[in-house]
């Protein structure tokens, strides 16, 4: 391996080490500031050195093809050309896919909306661009349309509107959203799911208690239910929590509130709850209330609880499909 290649490897190791240390000991803003500095620098380098890098790839590809042809005694010119062309397409498509994935994950996301929960703002089948950078440095604001990994199955990305912020108290009464006791007029909201309860939205540093109604394992055993299957159901769809674990309570700083499903995905916590043990946790993140504009047909925070800040990926900004409805989404 050449000295130049060793230099690149050492630089890469140093950068990774710096990022790991910042992730462990620095603030979120500092970590992402340094991370995006290096990532953007990498993209600038690629575009600035595009022609030189292409030449290097050509040379390495030719050397690789020569080794293959010599090893397998390939002398047919057409086969050699076909091999070169195949490798070229693999390299080109592979590089393009990697760049697209990185850009979508860290700069500009591209999402297709599968449901009608945000009608009329965003309709089924719309495609939107999302800003994937801002929330690395700032917090979501009220009315922002956020893209986040849902806490129910912990798999799918949802698009909803951030309507309740950390530390606030929210209630829905007579189709009106109340925040800290004050009436709002943003849009109509149904109290489906939440009912007449007033929820306090958890924030970092709050004391959370998850209080079971009793020993659920014993209840399921006496009813001849398979406890392992019940836990599997909860893991696959934690929104079933109030059906499979009736009267389970989430209490923040002494006040009963909505569910935080993140903890149901933790096997140790779930095992303790199933045998009737109360869980006490100091929260390490902020949470948000995410609601759909199509309030009568939106599966949102009213049903499954709060969105952890670290689950939020970006902010939906622009609809680019269909073409006749291109524009900002707000």
Task: Examine the domain organization and report whether 165 and 51 are in the same domain.
Answer: no
Asked which of 106, 137, 158 is the last residue of a domain, the reply is 106
Token digits of residue 18: 């710096």
Q: Determine the pLDDT at residue 289.
A: 98
Number of domains making up the chain: 2
Q: 263 with 127, same domain?
A: yes
At residue 5, does pLDDT exceed 80?
no
| Last-in-domain residue among 79, 106, 133 | 106
What is the predicted pLDDT for the residue at 75? 84
pLDDT at residue 56 greater than cutoff 90 = no
User: Of 106, 136, 163, which residue sits at a domain end?
Assistant: 106
Together in a domain, 237 and 118: yes
Are residues 33 and 176 part of one domain? no
Same domain, 295 and 240: yes
Whether residue 208 is found in the same domain as residue 218:
yes
Strands 199-200 and 182-183: unpaired
Q: What is the mean pLDDT of residues 204-217?
A: 96
Q: pLDDT value at position 2?
A: 67
Mean predicted confidence (pLDDT) in 196-215: 97
Asked if 177 and 267 sit in the same domain, the reply is: yes
For residue 130, what are the β-bridge partners? 109, 316
| Co-location of 274 and 216 in the same domain | yes
Dihedral pair phi/psi, residue 99, rounded to 5°: -65, -40
Strand 207-211 and strand 327-328: the pairing is unpaired
Residue 261: give its domain's CATH number. Answer: 2.10.109.10
Q: For the segment 26-53, what is each residue's pLDDT rounded down to a tens digit? A: 999 999 999 999 999 999 999 999 899 8
Question: Mind listing the pLDDT tens digit for each residue in 285-322?
Answer: 999 999 999 999 999 999 999 999 999 999 999 999 99
Report pLDDT digits (tens) over 82-122.
Answer: 989 999 999 999 999 999 999 999 999 999 999 999 999 99
Specify whether 238 is located in the same domain as 270. yes
Dist CA 228 CA 213 (whole Å):
19
How is residue 269 written in tokens?
């916590």
What does the pLDDT read at residue 80?
Answer: 87
Which pLDDT score is estimated for 8? 83
225 and 128 part of one domain: yes
Domain that holds residue 51: 3-106
Q: What pLDDT is attached to residue 151?
A: 93
- CA dist list (Å): 84 to 10, 50, 57: 31, 20, 12
* Selection from 229, 198, 201, 202 nearest residue 216 by Cα: 229
Task: Give phi and psi for 3, each to the nearest 5.
Answer: -60, -35
Residue 238: band (very low, low, confident or very high) from pLDDT cuts 50, 70, 90: confident
Clarify whether residues 54 and 187 are in a common domain: no
Higher pLDDT, 207 or 233: 207
**Domain co-membership, 227 together with 308:** yes
Q: From CA 96, how far away is CA 270, in angstroms rounded?
A: 42
SS3 state of residue 279: strand
- Indicate if the pLDDT at residue 257 is higher than 90: yes
> Model-level pTM greater than 0.85?
yes
Would you say 275 and 269 are in contact if contact means Cβ atoms under 8 Å apart? Answer: no
Tens digit of each residue's pLDDT (9 = 90 or more) over 151-173: 998 889 999 999 999 999 999 99
Report whether 261 contacts 239 (CB < 8 A): yes
């Amino acid at each position: 391996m050449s000295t130049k290649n060793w230099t690149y490897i050492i630089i890469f190791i140093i950068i990774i080490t710096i990022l790991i240390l910042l992730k462990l000991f620095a603030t979120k803003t500092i970590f992402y500031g340094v991370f995006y500095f290096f990532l953007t620098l990498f993209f600038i380098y690629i575009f600035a050195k595009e022609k030189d890098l292409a030449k290097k790839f050509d040379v390495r590809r030719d050397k690789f093809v020569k080794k293959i042809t010599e090893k397998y005694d390939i002398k047919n010119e057409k086969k050699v050309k076909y091999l070169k062309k195949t490798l070229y397409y693999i390299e080109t498509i592979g590089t393009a896919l990697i760049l697209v994935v990185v850009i979508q994950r860290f700069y500009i996301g591209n999402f297709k909306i599968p449901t009608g929960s945000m009608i009329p703002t965003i309709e089924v089948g719309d495609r939107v661009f999302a800003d994937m950078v801002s929330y690395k440095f700032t917090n979501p604001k009220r009315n922002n349309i956020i893209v986040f990994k849902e806490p129910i199955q912990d798999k799918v990305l949802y698009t909803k509107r951030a309507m309740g912020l950390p530390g606030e108290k929210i209630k829905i009464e007579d189709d009106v959203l109340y925040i800290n006791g004050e009436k709002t007029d943003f849009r109509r909201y149904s109290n489906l799911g939440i009912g007449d309860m007033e929820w306090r939205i958890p924030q970092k540093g709050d004391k959370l208690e998850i209080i079971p109604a009793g020993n659920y394992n014993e209840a399921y055993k006496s009813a001849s239910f398979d406890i392992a299957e019940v836990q599997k159901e909860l893991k696959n769809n934690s929104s079933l929590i109030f059906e499979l674990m009736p009267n389970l309570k989430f209490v923040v700083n002494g006040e009963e509130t909505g569910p935080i499903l993140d903890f149901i995905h933790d096997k140790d916590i779930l095992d303790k709850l199933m045998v009737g043990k109360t869980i006490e946790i100091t929260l390490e993140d902020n949470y948000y209330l995410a609601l759909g504009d199509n309030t009568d047909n939106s599966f949102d925070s009213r049903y499954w609880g709060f969105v952890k800040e670290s689950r939020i990926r970006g902010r939906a900004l622009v609809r680019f499909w269909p073409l006749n409805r291109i524009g900002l989404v707000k």
